[in-house]
Amino acid sequence: MSSATAEETQTVVAARRLEHAGSVFIGVGRPSTAAILARMVHNPDLVLVYESGTIGAKPFHIPLSIGDGELAQTADFVVSVPEMFNYWIGTGRVDVAFLGAAQVDRFANLNSTVIGDYDQPKTRLPGAGGAPEIAAGCGEVVVIAPHNPRTLVERLDFVTTVGHGDGPGSRERLGFRGAGPTALITDLGVLEPDPQTRELTLTATMAGVAVEEVGSCASPITSPSSSRRETLSSPP
């Protein structure tokens, strides 16, 4: 039997974060795969919520998009996008949201808008979608992203989604609900906000990954104390 890839391990670790969640807001790709895995393996009552308005979807296959027909066919009900954000997201009715981004800074703020100058960007990205509202309204946010210097940066080229702003008290000043980002799960490890500074701190590494390897791949990581860090096992 072949060993799990880094991406597969990342998906399993993300799925484990949903063991006790009641509901999760997800997009396509790895977040969707992780949520489907969690519902099938250890949390059968998990309610999957997609931005297209499907609530309680029960897909067996990985959806091609948020408009995949299987989501609507298996959902408990389907609502309009305005209702999704005004009634479900904005009022804090969703426990956990999975988000991705092209750039993540030390306070778990996210960029999914442009790389480079806004007026003349090197790369124009898909944009905000509902991410700003999702991060402001859901109970907590888990960010899933690759672990490399292009993604984990000292300063975002554009702030699309506020995580912990500029540190302690930022979310409260903005009137946001929920805890904000509680974890960044990469292919090398898990980073969580420090209770005092709100800066992302390495709290776990994937099996076979050394702390030095993690630190060499990104700038905003705060070195962990040995008492906080754990090594996550790979899936069988």
**Cα 91 to the chain's mean position, in Å?**
20
Is 22 exposed, middle or buried, given 0-12, 13-18 or 19+ CB atoms closer than 10 A? middle
Q: What is the token pair recorded at 162?
A: 């506020």
Question: Within 13 A of 89's CA, how many CA atoms are on the CB side?
Answer: 25
19 is an active site residue: no
In sequence order, the β-bridge partners of residue 204 are: 190, 230
What is d(CA 88, CA 170) in angstroms, rounded to the nearest whole number? Answer: 23
Question: Buried b vs exposed e over 125-140: b needs ≥16 C-beta within 10 Å?
Answer: beebebbbbbbbbbbb
What is d(CA 229, CA 205) in angstroms, rounded to the nearest whole number? Answer: 8
6-16 helix and 30-41 helix, angle to the nearest 10 degrees:
60
What is d(CA 23, CA 78) in angstroms, rounded to the nearest whole number? Answer: 15
Closest alpha carbon to 16 in 106, 148, 142, 195? 142
Which of 51, 133, 140, 230 is catalytic? The answer is 51
- Indicate which residues carry an active-site annotation: 51
